[in-house]
């Protein structure tokens, strides 16, 4: 696939370039303010390179999950303001996605200017299953520009109008962020330095089953925490109290444990509570002896030591998913301890986006300590599963 540098070498001065960026940042529900601008910052290298080369930059992005119609709570207005601050220039926001106001503002751009379109998911066609419906929106988006750059790695696993269909209509290239993500993931999937350790957390085994199946033959150790660990513990015959349990996945977990031998490492102790709350009273219990009246909400200190020892021997690490309910103070220690162990790896350490990246920032950890923090949790996992990602496949055409 063509790179941004290839596009720049051909010349973009005075040309309108549509950039699909991933600006899906979390907002405070009360104030509407951005609580983590990591994805906006990750988009800057591509946007700044195009500006410096004299392009007229039109940015398309989504925010949240509006239901295919304008919804003020999902407006990209705060994103436009923050993007302007980071770029050091005014970034106007179009009133629509690819309508009259978007066309007027795109036509008014001068060399080096940046325009942000309103949330592409305000149009139902963006996420439509019907090719013709997506195509109509893609036609309108493509008409705004002469060139297309996809820099939204967090969306490349989606066959959406602004990700897939527009690239079929315009000369296209991969942005700096997409290229960086692909470089790191290729290192994980081709010839990783060993020992290669993967840490998986999050709530459900079913969400990670495909990636577990794909990674087991390739890893030296698979460390499992978060809510998904309780289904594995149940598969070993242990009671899990009121902890999250996917009963329909117990047999699958039992099979995976048998196939993996000592390569799957489970928690040895659990932080339990009788309620899911910041003021909950906690206790640490052995992983094989969780009382019936309690639920597990974090891995315990001995587990952090066990996982830390495995990570200390690793040369390549991929981490996706928190070890517990890190959003609440009583249940942060497991995720913090494992995150610190991942950061200390003498080799390549990759944080696989999503809640893992959010945890690094929320817990105040040093982002620079990691080899790479992905912007796309779902896209990263699907790539590691070996699935074809529509947004990448179309860029290779």
Model-wide pTM > 0.75: yes
Which H or E run includes 6? Answer: helix 4-10
Chain-centroid distance, C-alpha 37: 13
Q: CA 310, CA 387: separation in Å to the nearest integer?
A: 28
Q: Is 147 helix (H, G, I), strand (E, B) or coil?
A: strand
Distances in Å between the Cα of 167 and the Cα atoms of 45, 124, 279 are 20, 19, 50
And the tokens for 277?
A: 């709350």
Query: What does the pLDDT read at residue 23?
Result: 97
pLDDT digits 0-9 by tens, 95-123: 999 999 999 999 999 999 999 999 999 99
Indicate the Cα dihedral angle 257, 354, 381, 346, nearest 10°.
Answer: -70
Q: Is 269 annotated for ligand binding?
A: no
The side-by-side arrangement of strands in the sheet containing 172-174 is 114-116, 56-60, 16-20, 147-150, 172-174
Nearest to 152 by CA among 69, 232, 241, 59: 59
Answer whether 247's CB lies under 8 Å from 257's CB: no
Q: Is 170 annotated for ligand binding?
A: no
pLDDT digits 0-9 by tens, 336-376: 999 999 999 999 999 987 788 889 988 999 999 999 998 88
Q: Is 64 annotated for ligand binding?
A: yes
Query: What does the pLDDT read at residue 274?
Result: 93
Q: Known catalytic residues?
A: 39, 204, 354, 378
Q: Is 158 annotated for ligand binding?
A: yes
Q: 10-residue block means of pLDDT along the chain (397 residues)?
A: 96 98 93 91 97 98 96 96 98 98 98 98 98 98 98 96 98 97 92 96 89 93 96 97 95 96 96 93 96 96 98 97 94 96 96 86 90 88 91 94
Q: Is 118 annotated for ligand binding?
A: no
Query: What does the pLDDT read at residue 73?
Result: 94
Q: Is 63 annotated for ligand binding?
A: yes
Per 3-state DSSP, what percentage of the chain is helix, strand, and coil (rounded to 5)?
A: 45, 15, 40
Q: Which domains does the chain have, with CATH numbers?
A: 4-177 (3.40.50.1260), 192-385 (3.40.50.1260)
DSSP 173: E
Which ranges in 249-353 belong to alpha helices (H)?
Answer: 250-260, 301-312, 333-343
Query: What does the pLDDT read at residue 36?
Result: 87
Q: Is 34 helix (H, G, I), strand (E, B) or coil?
A: strand
Range 317-348 burial, b when 16+ CB lie within 10 A, else e: bbbbbbbbbbebebbbbbbbbbbbbbbebeeb
Q: Is 168 annotated for ligand binding?
A: no
Contacts of 167 (CB under 8 A, 6+ apart): 148, 150, 391, 394, 395, 397
């Amino acid at each position: 696939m063509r790179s941004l540098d290839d596009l720049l070498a051909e010349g973009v001065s005075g040309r309108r370039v549509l950039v699909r960026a991933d600006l899906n940042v979390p907002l405070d529900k009360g104030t509407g303010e951005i609580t983590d601008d990591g994805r906006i910052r990750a988009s800057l290298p591509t946007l700044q390179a195009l500006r410096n080369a004299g392009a007229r930059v039109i940015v398309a992005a989504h925010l949240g999950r509006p239901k295919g119609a304008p919804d003020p709570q999902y407006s990209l207005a705060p994103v436009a303001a923050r993007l302007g601050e980071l770029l050091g220039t005014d970034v106007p926001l179009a009133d629509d996605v690819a309508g009259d106001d978007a066309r007027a503002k795109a036509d008014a751009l001068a060399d080096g200017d940046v325009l942000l379109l309103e949330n592409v998911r305000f149009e139902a066609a963006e996420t439509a299953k019907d090719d013709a419906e997506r195509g109509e929106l893609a036609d309108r988006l493509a008409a705004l520009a002469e060139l297309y750059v996809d820099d939204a790695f967090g969306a490349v696993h989606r066959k959406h109008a602004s990700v897939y269909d527009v690239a079929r209509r315009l000369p296209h290239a991969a942005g700096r962020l997409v290229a960086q993500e692909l470089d790191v993931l290729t290192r994980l999937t081709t010839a990783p330095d060993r020992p290669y350790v993967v840490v998986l957390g999050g709530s459900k085994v079913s969400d990670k089953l495909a990636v577990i199946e794909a990674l087991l033959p390739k890893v030296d150790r698979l460390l499992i925490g978060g809510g998904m660990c309780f289904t594995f513990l149940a598969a070993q015959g242990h009671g899990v109290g009121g902890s999250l349990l996917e009963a329909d996945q117990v047999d699958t977990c039992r099979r995976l444990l048998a196939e993996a031998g000592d390569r799957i490492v489970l928690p040895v102790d659990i932080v339990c509570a009788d309620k899911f709350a910041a003021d909950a009273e906690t206790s640490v219990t052995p992983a094989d002896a969780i009382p019936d009246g309690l639920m597990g909400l974090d891995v315990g200190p001995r587990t952090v030591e066990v996982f830390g020892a495995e990570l200390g021997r690793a040369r390549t690490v991929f981490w996706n998913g928190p070890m517990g309910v890190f959003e609440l103070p009583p249940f942060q220690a497991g995720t913090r301890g494992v995150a610190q162990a991942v950061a200390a790896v003498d080799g390549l350490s990759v944080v696989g986006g999503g809640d893992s990246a959010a945890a690094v920032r929320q817990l105040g950890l040093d982002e620079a300590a990691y080899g790479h923090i992905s912007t796309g949790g779902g896209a990263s996992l699907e790539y590691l599963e070996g699935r074809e990602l529509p947004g990448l496949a179309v860029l290779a055409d």
